Structure 1
Amino acid sequence: MLISIRKVFFNLKTALLILGIGGMILTAQLFHIAQYSERLGALKNQHLLIEKIVHTDLSDPKMADILINGAVSEISLSVKLSGEEALLDAFVNSNEEQASLLRSLEISSQAFQDNALFWSEALSISKDSAHQRMMNARTAFLGDIDRMMDYQVHIIQESIATAKMVAIFLFIAGFIVFLLYRYRLNQIYSDIDKACSVDTDGSAKLVLTQEIDFLLKRLIRRSSQNPLNPNLINPLSGLNNEKGLINAFNAKKAGKSGHNVFLSLFEIDHYTSLLNTLSKEDMGNIFKKLGDILNMYEQPLDVIAHTDDNHLVFLMSRNTKQLALEESEKIIHTVEESSFTTAQGPIKITLSGGFLLKPPAKSIDEGVEEALKLIEKAKETGGNRIAQQRNRHNSHN
């Protein structure tokens, strides 16, 4: 059963959305744990401040007063910080329990602060009783702090457990998504590669995606349609011959008004050596593949032909010379990068080309003759390149 590229990408987007939501939840949980840890730190700080007050030396009343008042102020701030609302409080814990513990903490904290201040200001004769009241308030305050700390530790553990589950889910889901869509995307890439390939070894291309299968079938139907007279076709490649070239060019001439017509002529480098080495069938396959490569760049008003002397003619209608030249160079590079199937195994070939603007006054044959001279210039520099006509008459580069 063929897979749908559209469905694959839709499912991939859905999977990435789910992973993204999971990542957001994990981030929120970690932020939440950090907030709970700050609460826990504020509660621990109250322990330290209580001990600081209780062990204050009252022999120096002024210094003791400064220390105790400062510690009392810090306790008030720490109590406030230990009760600050966290981002997900309403979703992961009981607000009523939190509020009840906080009220008890505020009451016992205030009682301890009042008794601590009273103890620091009490007269010598009442110091002992004031100290005892402060210690009793301290016991109640510490009890509330411990209960609040136990509660904070509990919800931190719950948040960590949730974060662990989300992290495990994201790891497993992410790994599955990676493996699955790595495989699916490789399938899609393989099908695209098959669709772009112009191998003509006669074997059917097995594709796994609906869209690429449709495109290949459409291309096959298109290539099988041959409304032209067989006398206008080169039997070796299935492209237009010289007569077919003239016929097709004249048929499309009316649509070329306003466009420049450029002629690119291609010749296989070391053609004689290939001809002596390969069979006629292999040469036919090579020319069919070269025709398929040219067809990749063909536009509605273009004409492609295979001449009797085994040159490939590409008459292209383009707005600018630069655009036509770039496409001709792309053809050279595509051929260089392609493999050609033969009975002796895959081989590599290159092309040399001649490129020029076809003046309206010149016939196609005259343009081809001029392009042949340009090909000789390209071959003199090693081939595998395209030579173009300079602006000066009878000058080439």
Structure 2
Amino acid sequence: MTRTAPSLPAAAASGSDRRRGLRLIAVAIVLTGFNLRTAVNSVGPVLEELEQGLSISSGLAGVVTTMPVLCFALIGFAGPPLAARYRDGHVLAGALLAMAAGTVLRVVTDAFWLFLVGTVLAMVGGALGNVLLPSLVKRYFPERTGLLIGAYSVSMAVGGAIASVSAAPIAAATGADGWRWALGVWAVFAAVTALPWLSVPARPGASREAHRRVRMRSLLRSRMALALALFFAMQSMQAYVLIGWTAQYLRDEGLSAATAGLLLGINTIVVIPLNAIVPTLTVRPHLQRPLLAGFCVSYVAGWVGLMVAPRGVPWLWMGLLALGTGTFAMVLTLIGLRARTPETTAALSTTTQGWGYLLAGAGPLLVGVLRGSTGSYTGMFVVVLAGVAVLAVTGWFVTRERYVDDEVPGWGSDAHHGDVIEVAGTEPPVTVHVTEPGGGSPRG
């Protein structure tokens, strides 16, 4: 007994250290969420000043607005392999420091190509955060997953809203080249957020060498998978045209930069309750098509309202567009409903989101090119309304109760395996199971 007594304070200290460590991780997760959209949402309200400051055309401005979408697709795929090789905290700390460096680079340069390099670096934090945060929540807070995911989702929306609302006032208050301050101030937040991640210990568990990749080429044979990818692409295109171009459009129609940014910020805030409500409704098959119809009607009403009466009740049009973006939460839920196993869900999630973001990137770019060549925003409304039509058609298809497993030959026989890995994607990663040829687990 005399040997065990001294261990009690040590055990208590160990438990106290663990609780402090978890609190540190929780704070780091929420702070990271705040940074995920600041570099994206701060651009739209000062797009005109950015064009003038860099002496670029509307077509090149379209490149700026489409870069985040492409980065989320391409960089996001690198998240799980990096986490498999390096400590999670170090990966996120590096991503946030890259975000800070990229943010600084794009506000100190006058060269457009360097601005693009800075944009890519600035998107690293958002892209890797999209992938890694949900898995970290599940790993460290398995009994409070909903609470922590909700907390950082709200933090992300708040960060995006503040970036949208504050960009124009910051630019106006800082004088000449004020747009640089409006974009650059977010580097401070990213750099500070990197610090707690450096103190996060290595995650417990098995060797990282056990990670494997899931082959997804077979999904090209699935009409459901292709339809989901196109559905995801169209809803993403709507969102990034909205973020990248509506503030500038409202300014060109006579609203002040501050008012345009405020309207974009309100749009972002409306999305918060939608992301909480829509998934619980989407899991009910009989509600899927009514939801789809409501979202499409909201999109059409919002875009047409902006086109014909931009100065009338712009808050109403932006609110309707915010309702339309409920398709984002809907498609994420449908991905889980259209696959039978963890393996096929992982492959479907990665394929849908990766290719979806790549296709969506054409939207903001095309808007910029059309605006530059025609001198008007008619092209923007043609693009988004055509996108709503495609969204409705593909949405009608993906709301049928079918499974990609049944459309891909051989997937059923490979569906159950024995070891857990993470699969890349631009949204919450999914766990899958793999075995070595011959049936043994790679971890023994």
Q: Same fold (TM over 0.5)?
A: no
Q: TM-score, normalised by structure 2?
A: 0.23
RCO comparison, higher one (Cα < 8 Å, 6+): 2
More helix per residue: 2
Task: Tell me which structure has the larger Cα radius of gyration.
Answer: 1
Which structure dedicates a bigger proportion of its chain to strand? 1
**TM-score, normalising length from structure 1?**
0.25
